[in-house]
Amino acid sequence: LIRRPDSYFIFFFATDWLISPGQQFKISLSFIKIILSINTVFMAADDKPPFMDMDKDNVAQSLRFVDILDLRLVEAKNLSLRQGSSAMDHFVCCVIKLDSEEIFRSSTTAKTTNPFFGDDFHFEVQKKFRLLSFYLFDHYPGRVARPLGRITFCKDDIFRYSGVERWFPLKPISRHSDVIGKVCLELSYEYTNDSKLAKRLKVRLLDFCDLSLPVSRSGELYALVHLQRDDEQLFTDTKKLRVRRLSPESYSSAEAVYVDLPSGCFAKQATITDEADFSIDPHPTTSVSTILRVSLWHDMPRSFSTFFHGEVRVPLTGGRRQFHLSNIAWYYLKPRSRPSERDRSAKRNQSINANFDDPGDLCALKLRIRYNVDHILPSPYYNELWRLLLDSLSCKPFRASALSLLSCLPKTEVDNIVLPIVRIFLHSNQVKALIQTQCIEEISQCQDVNTLFRSCSFATRCVFELMKLVGHQYMISTLKPCLDKIYTERKCCEVDPDRLQPGQTLVDNLRNLVIYTELVLSRIVDSNHRCPQLLKDAFKILREVTACFYPNRLEVQWLVLSSFLIMRFFAAALLNPKTFGLRKDNPDATVARTLALVSKTIQRLSNFVVCGRKLSEKEAFMVPLWERFADERHRLAFIKFFDRISCVSSESSMTGESVTVLKEGVLFEYKANSGCLGRRCLSSKPRYCCLTDNEFYWCKHKGSVRLGLLHLSDIVLIQAIDEKSQGKLVFEVATPNVSVKLDASHSMEMGEWMAALKKACRRQQLALKQINDACQYYEIDIEQQLENIHLAFLRHIETVRAWKEASNGKSQDERQDVYTLTGCSDEISSQILHDSIQAVLACTYTLEQGHRAALVKYLRQMKYGSKDLPIGDDNYLLLRSRIREYASISWAPLSQDEDTTCIGQMSTVEENNILPTTDFQNMQTVI
């Protein structure tokens, strides 16, 4: 009854009955206090946990894997030109592919054989892949694009070169450069009646998928089957096998070929009792290895040529692989490989790896690649970590909390966890409290008011990440019209006499710069009605906290708002429009110079508003521009903007709004027509699609009559449609009355369009409903964000242990290091800090043991050779590396007080039958 809400009434009734006048005994005041305190504990115990409990026997099924690919495309060098061409006509484009699917195409870079790209990508890969490829093409006016070379990485290569910028030499592109796809084979033996030795092998190809070249008709695809021996390097007679795509129910009807086994490779027939231990060569009579090779080919339509998809090599003798009777398994296709080429291939790989560090005069591409696979546990496992972070806001002093400990980690680690922290508190509807606590801590430690929020502190980065997360569309709707105009017109705005080109005048350039600057300023100061309410609340908190520390000093409040809104948001976006998602292409030299001058003018004008002093004349050529904008009208416009955007009672965000294009591009309208001779016909036509802040429409080409229109406020469905049988990437956008299906060129483009549509719809709902609790309109994977925090503590677990040992030191000198780091010097703060460190260690150890238990269970359930994990797949290396990397941490001995803290949490992990160390090592060997 304690958990029931009506139990509180029962408890109070019992206490009232005990003190009624008709009783024969008296109750002391202390006993009443005890009863009331117990009642308070019961009421507190009724609070619901952040995550609901689940059956932890299903941990392996609930374990999720999120593949994250971070790429930086830096530059290329020593690119070869066509004969008779000059660098001025040379345009270079880089294409990135996952297997055969194009996920990115860079903008062309011109007029140099050493082009600079400077592109950064962050992808959450939605499918399994084997190869990551970079292709470089050169374009000349009126000519076909010519491939310059490629760089291909398998997953082993990605891990080997992860996290480091380096040069990679380009290799020539050929038709058989990359082999992808997988096939399903059935291998079994045929026995004669008078012998117990199998003299021939039965091979059937049951299914295939993910081939690099689409197969239009099943009859065009066939396989060649033969045996090969290492000693003689000879092949048996090749058998041709016709391939058809079959369902699992019709596997028995697949065509089969029989391959005669050579002498010394016969297999002994298994009896019924030892059938489970039957192997393909249980008693080999020779030490020479025999390999079964199954190659997949495709006859090109209306041509005499064939296309090689890849081959499967199965060792029959001399290998570890054992096949049970009538074994069916999936295999990854691999490129050609002959035994005589193995030594040469190894030497070639060594020479290529040596050239990675110093390519010399070779054509090369500079890249930085990082590939991570996050292993996400079910929600209940992160309960303790979630509470630990939220309780940090109420911890006094805050410097002794677990959240403050995160800010004491190395800078590279803090840069990676700021965004997860903001997402966690946004999902928990505590982001305002986070901003308030961080700003109070930041201002209390500031020594000079002129540097307030100008450094890259933890509080500053939290506010900045919140602005990018919540205010990205606000930035696009404000600056994109100005940027599009500057990119399109490309007018020169150079006002430095030393940089003027022949034919340019200072008067014309200054006039162009004034026009562009005035346009950008007017868009910024009139944008308060476009700002999301959550950001307005954050700016209001910043202003109120600043006013508490600096009362009656409005210029300090304006300084704080200017540091975030102007310096880090609008001015930074003008300097880097591609980084902030405002444009897809890098600006050329003329546009980049214009944006730099406009950004500098806006920053100087905001400083003039804050300090009220005359602008600096350090750059004499900018003085005419300062005089044009450093007047009272522009100063009052900025002050009015700061006041409105930090006031909660501002007007609605949809009043008087102009149309802003958020995303545009070409998609294919996908239709299914039933009036084609009684058959279902599919049609796909190109359409120019445009997403604004109010509507989504499509037409034949840009500027033509609209063929369809959907208002964002009416959209009820945005989802992907499974059209894999036709090789389509289709998503549907629907209102209660209208529906349209659109086909994208690749999965990344489809994901970008769906994400943009969902964000625009959420912003529209926020503006119309005026809901303050905006966290429900942001799709946040809370388990993934908490996993990132856990990994941050895990990677620096030795540092945290060192902090604990230092805080336990008896002398002042031993505790000095951790006190200097956190600022906790008094006895009470030191004890709170010690408890926080102990809670972090206990939570980290418990979570990592939960990871280990879930991964071991998952690996036990995995079937090597299934469609999800084909033979030859290296995805399992990611699982094994996670176990191997953190095995010592997961089973590190806890100290006595840590063990006491974890005792309640460890029991749930032990219920999952965690393997002892010996079994764990055996599991690694098997994998």
What are the structural domains of the chain?
7-45 (no CATH), 70-177+347-373 (2.60.40.150), 182-334 (2.60.40.150), 430-645 (1.10.506.10), 661-769 (2.30.29.30), 809-926 (no CATH)
Say how far apart CA 195 and CA 209 lie, in whole Å.
39
For residues 643-654, average pLDDT: 60
Specify the amino acid at residue 448. Answer: D
More confident residue, 722 or 435: 435
DSSP count for the chain of H helices, then E strands = 27, 25
Specify the amino acid at residue 798. Answer: E
Taken in order 757, 758, 763, 767, is the CA torsion positive or negative?
positive
* DSSP conformation letters of 145-184: -EEEEEEEEEHHHHHHTBT--EEEE-B---TTS----EEE
For residues 335-360, average pLDDT: 50
What's the confidence (pLDDT) of residue 845? Answer: 93
266 pLDDT above the threshold of 60: no
DSSP 82: P
Report residue 881's pLDDT band, with 50, 70 and 90 as the boundaries. Answer: low
The per-residue pLDDT for range 753-803, each reduced to its tens digit, is 888 898 888 877 766 655 445 555 677 889 999 999 999 999 999 989 888
For residues 870-878, average pLDDT: 66
The 3-state DSSP class for residue 925 equals helix
Using a 10 angstrom Cβ sphere, with 0-12 exposed, 13-18 middle and 19 or more buried, the burial of residue 802 is: middle
As beta bridge partners, residue 198 has 191, 267
Query: CB under 8 Å, gap of 24 or more: what pairs does 140-147 form?
Result: 140/82, 140/85, 140/89, 140/90, 140/91, 141/89, 145/93, 146/82, 147/173
Report residue 523's pLDDT band, with 50, 70 and 90 as the boundaries. Answer: very high
Say how far apart CA 725 and CA 672 lie, in whole Å.
14
CA 141 from centre of chain: 37
What's the confidence (pLDDT) of residue 390? Answer: 93
Among 231-235, 571-575, 858-862, the range scoring the smallest mean pLDDT is 231-235
Among 144-148, 187-191, 679-683, 854-858, the range scoring the smallest mean pLDDT is 679-683
Specify the amino acid at residue 603. Answer: Q
CA distance to 350, 403, 895, per residue, from 793 (Å): 37, 11, 18
Report residue 729's pLDDT band, with 50, 70 and 90 as the boundaries. Answer: confident
CA 735 from centre of chain: 30
For residues 183-208, average pLDDT: 77
The per-residue pLDDT for range 803-828, each reduced to its tens digit, is 888 777 655 555 555 565 666 667 78
Taken in order 749, 753, 754, 756, is the CA torsion positive or negative?
positive
Residues 459 and 560 sit within 8 Å (Cβ to Cβ):
no
What's the confidence (pLDDT) of residue 283? Answer: 39
Report residue 22's pLDDT band, with 50, 70 and 90 as the boundaries. Answer: very low
Say how far apart CA 215 and CA 725 lie, in whole Å.
11
Residue 906, φ and ψ in degrees, nearest 5: -70, -30
What's the half-sphere exposure (Cβ side, CA atoms, 13 Å) at 449?
Answer: 14
CA distance to 107, 469, 569, 659, per residue, from 475 (Å): 23, 11, 8, 14
Sequence-distant (≥ 6) Cβ neighbours of residue 545 within 8 angstroms: 436, 439, 440, 443
Say how far apart CA 578 and CA 569 lie, in whole Å.
14
Say how far apart CA 259 and CA 185 lie, in whole Å.
14
For residues 540-568, average pLDDT: 89
The two structure tokens encoding residue 754: 């769906």
Please name which of 101, 312, 296, 295 lies closest in space to residue 215, comparing C-alpha atoms: 296
Say how far apart CA 516 and CA 522 lie, in whole Å.
10
* DSSP conformation letters of 670-699: EEEEEEETTEEEEEEEEEEEEEESSEEEEE
The 3-state DSSP class for residue 427 equals helix
Taken in order 719, 725, 726, 729, is the CA torsion positive or negative?
positive
CA distance to 21, 171, 288, 526, per residue, from 168 (Å): 91, 9, 39, 48
Residue 66: enclosing H or E segment and its boundaries? Answer: strand 64-77
Residues 207 and 183 sit within 8 Å (Cβ to Cβ):
yes
The per-residue pLDDT for range 143-185, each reduced to its tens digit, is 777 888 899 888 878 888 888 889 999 988 876 667 888 889 9
The two structure tokens encoding residue 534: 């959550």
Sequence-distant (≥ 6) Cβ neighbours of residue 555 within 8 angstroms: 610, 611, 612
For residues 125-136, average pLDDT: 86
CA distance to 73, 136, 700, per residue, from 145 (Å): 20, 10, 27
DSSP 564: I
Residues 36 and 85 sit within 8 Å (Cβ to Cβ):
no
What's the confidence (pLDDT) of residue 532? Answer: 86
The two structure tokens encoding residue 334: 């691999």
